[in-house]
Structure 1
Amino acid sequence: MRQTTASAHYDWLTITLHWLTALDVIFLFASFQVWSRLERGTPLRHDLQSLHISCGILLALLMVVRIFWRVSKGRRLPPASASRVVHIGAKSVHGLLYLLLIAQVALGFLFRWAQGEPFAFFGFGDLSDLVYIEGSLRKLLGSLHYYNAWLIIALAGGHAVVALLHHYVLRDGTLKRMIPGAK
């Protein structure tokens, strides 16, 4: 076991974007799990779907900001592990998470456009007329959106487990780099 202390944290914007994305993804997944068990046409189901759509648009905005920040100003830290294999694995998982999240946003937008229903951001504006997607693609896009969500949850869950492993078993400070104010 390697026991070190984290000497560097990510910058506040990187940390904020990370945790906002995590909370948004958890809400998006949980909201679907709840509304899919509710009777069609109920106000709660409709409200959860509307909130899901708004939080999906929020995820799109978060991803745009995250990508811009990462390629332009985001703080680069040295690898937490001395192992090149571990470093490449971590970079690969992060890259795959970014790709899956971007795909999820795109699939969500396409799915909603294929449904031809209102598509607003917390009640403001309506994006439903921006793009026309043939309604016959609705089922395919919905399935891809659904299964991609499960891939994200599985990969993000693994990401969280590995972060906890770093913290409690390896004690290498990896998790503390992403927690504001951690010493």
Structure 2
Amino acid sequence: MSTVRWLDTPERYGRISRGFHWLMAALFAWQFAGALLYVGIGDTAVTRLVGGSHFDLGFTLFGLVLLRGLWGLANLKSRPPHPGRLGRAASIGHGVIYGLMIIIPSLALLRQYGSGKPFAPYGIPLMPERDTKIAWMMAPADLLHAWLGFTLLAVVLGHAAMVLVHQRVWKDRTLSRMT
């Protein structure tokens, strides 16, 4: 009988870390699908179906990345190591992913507040409506949110490509640590 490993070990990530990873991967795939549909075909019924959850899902992902980050820090000494130059490159890549996962929704929330529009993810009022806009709060997200989002998509695709290189070329079973 195998034991359920909830916590990370030096050999593999625990169920909680893996749950965060794959849940967030699925939610980000939905977010990216909506963004790509919008860029590709514009404002259509399909785009609204997929992209209509963008605000709620973005807020959910922001909460999950904060929880996942705290969980990761709490398990840092127990996690599988990333040795050598390639390990440092992997750590830098993960740092870029985490950084973007924090910066992108932070900019969106700043823009939302600056817009004066209410924000009530899942019907929970977090930001009330205001009569005035605050332009400087909206400007950074207007300029960067989409570009950084597509940068995150590119980095995530690079992350997935490196997993395939590890699995198929180097045959070092890196994928098995997260599955």
TM over 0.5: yes
What is the TM-score of this pair, normalised by structure 2? 0.80
Shift of 1:50: 4.2
Larger relative contact order (C-alpha < 8 A, sep ≥ 6)? 1
Deviation per CA, 1:15-43: give whole Å up to 9, x if none.
1111122222221122123245344xx77
* Equivalent residues of 1:53, 1:120 under 8 A apart: no
| Superposition pairs of residues 89-168 of structure 1, within 5 angstroms | 89-122=89-122, 124-129=123-128, 134-135=134-135, 137-168=137-168
Inter-CA distance 138–48: structure 2 relative to 1 (3 Å threshold): farther
Report the count of equivalent residues: 167
Shift of 1:144: 0.6
* Equivalent residues of 2:118, 2:129 under 8 A apart: no
Ranges in structure 1 where 5+ consecutive residues have no aligned partner: 1-6
- Which residue number in structure 1 is paired with residue 28 of structure 2? 25
* Equivalent residues of 1:114, 1:136 under 8 A apart: yes
Inter-CA distance 78–38: structure 2 relative to 1 (3 Å threshold): closer
Ranges in structure 2 where 5+ consecutive residues have no aligned partner: 1-9
Distance 1:135 1:47 in 2: 30
* Residue 61 of structure 2 is aligned to residue 62 of structure 1: no
More deviation, 30-39/159-168: 30-39
- Which residue number in structure 1 is paired with residue 6 of structure 2? none
Distance 1:32 1:46 in 2: 10
More deviation, 55-64/104-113: 104-113
The secondary structure found in structure 2 opposite 1:57 is: helix
Distance 2:136 2:104 in 1: 19
Moved over 6 A (4+): 130-133
Percent identity, please: 26
Inter-CA distance 112–35: structure 2 relative to 1 (3 Å threshold): farther
Inter-CA distance 26–142: structure 2 relative to 1 (3 Å threshold): farther
Q: CA RMSD in A?
A: 2.6
Distance 1:111 1:72 in 2: 31
What is the TM-score of this pair, normalised by structure 1? 0.79
Question: By percentage of residues, which structure has more helix?
Answer: 2
